[in-house]
């Protein structure tokens, strides 16, 4: 038999009021599921379910325990991005014998303890959390001495830009002197001109500069973050 499609549903309401929530839920297989005897493979691809006006969703996913499926133990990573709530992530299995080929997410017990994560200031999070007031591109941001943008989206993009730096070492050298002006001590990852990773000794000169020393000379790039 081929993979069994199962309809997965869910409904989200606010604590206390019972009003419908807004947001989305995503599902992603933790590994490919294969059925060698039928020459079939389900590759992990992100399935996104956006909550309706009633706070509900419905998606079709394949069962994880069909008899011919290999390997055993593949699960779906579920990520709940509900407006005004912390991001919540956990893993589920989907039974091929679900009644009438359907199951509600509230009835599926996670096969591990849920992993609750804090939200970070991404454009996506801002758009979710402040959907009533507008999106990140229109929300006003008060510039500071370091961040000059006037919108939240611009400020986020400016912070991202200042949080990473690429040093291009065009000429071969055993010592790379890097001035990054990031105002902190960044992580450093080195690759040579063939994009192979190289290990060197990093010395932080200041919060804005460092050197990397190698046992031989070569050209390449340093990625700082």
Q: What's residue 136's pLDDT?
A: 64
pLDDT, residue 113, reads: 47
42/94 Cα distance (integer angstroms):
14
> Which pTM does this prediction carry?
0.53
* Partners of 5 in beta bridges: 62
In the block, which residue shows the tokens 């303890």?
113
Q: What are 102's two structure tokens?
A: 């359907």
With b for 16 or more beta-carbon neighbours within 10 A and e for fewer, the 135-162 pattern comes to: ebeebebeeeeeeebebbbbbbebeeee
Checking if the pLDDT of 212 tops 70, the result is yes
Distances (CA, A) of 1 to 77, 98, 170: 25, 16, 57
Per-residue pLDDT tens over the stretch 110-147: 654 444 444 455 555 555 655 555 666 677 777 776 67
pLDDT in tens, 78-114: 989 888 787 788 889 999 999 999 999 999 866 544 4
Pairing assessment for the beta strands 5-11 and 102-104 based on DSSP bridges:
parallel
Over residues 150-186, the pLDDT tens digits come to: 776 777 777 666 678 899 999 999 999 999 888 788 8
SS3 112: coil
Q: What is the pLDDT of residues 35-86, one digit of tens each?
A: 988 899 998 888 999 999 999 999 999 999 998 898 888 889 898 988 878 7
Residue 172's pLDDT is what? 95
Question: Looking at residue 88, what is its pLDDT?
Answer: 84
Burial class (CB in 10 A: 0-12, 13-18, 19+), 8: buried
């Amino acid at each position: 038999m081929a993979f069994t499609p199962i309809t997965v549903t869910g409904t989200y309401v606010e604590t206390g009021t019972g009003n419908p929530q807004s947001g989305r839920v995503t599902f992603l297989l933790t590994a490919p599921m294969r059925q060698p005897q039928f020459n079939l493979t389900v590759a992990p691809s992100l399935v996104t379910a956006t909550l309706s006006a009633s706070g509900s969703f419905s998606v079709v996913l394949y069962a994880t325990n069909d008899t011919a499926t290999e390997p055993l133990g593949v699960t779906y990573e579920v990520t709940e991005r509900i407006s005004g709530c912390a991001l919540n992530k956990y893993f589920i299995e989907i039974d091929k014998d679900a009644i009438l080929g359907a199951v509600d997410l509230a009835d599926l017990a996670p096969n591990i303890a849920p992993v609750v994560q804090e939200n970070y200031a991404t454009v996506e999070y801002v758009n979710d959390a402040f959907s009533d007031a507008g999106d990140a591109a229109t929300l006003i941001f008060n510039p500071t001495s370091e961040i000059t943008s006037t919108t939240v989206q611009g400020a986020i993009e400016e912070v991202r830009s200042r949080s990473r730096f690429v040093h291009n070492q065009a000429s071969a050298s055993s010592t790379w002197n890097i001035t990054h002006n990031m105002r902190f001590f960044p992580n450093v990852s080195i690759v040579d001109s063939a994009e192979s990773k190289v290990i060197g000794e990093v010395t932080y000169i200041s919060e804005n500069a460092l050197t990397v020393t190698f046992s031989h000379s070569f050209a390449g790039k340093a990625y700082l973050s």
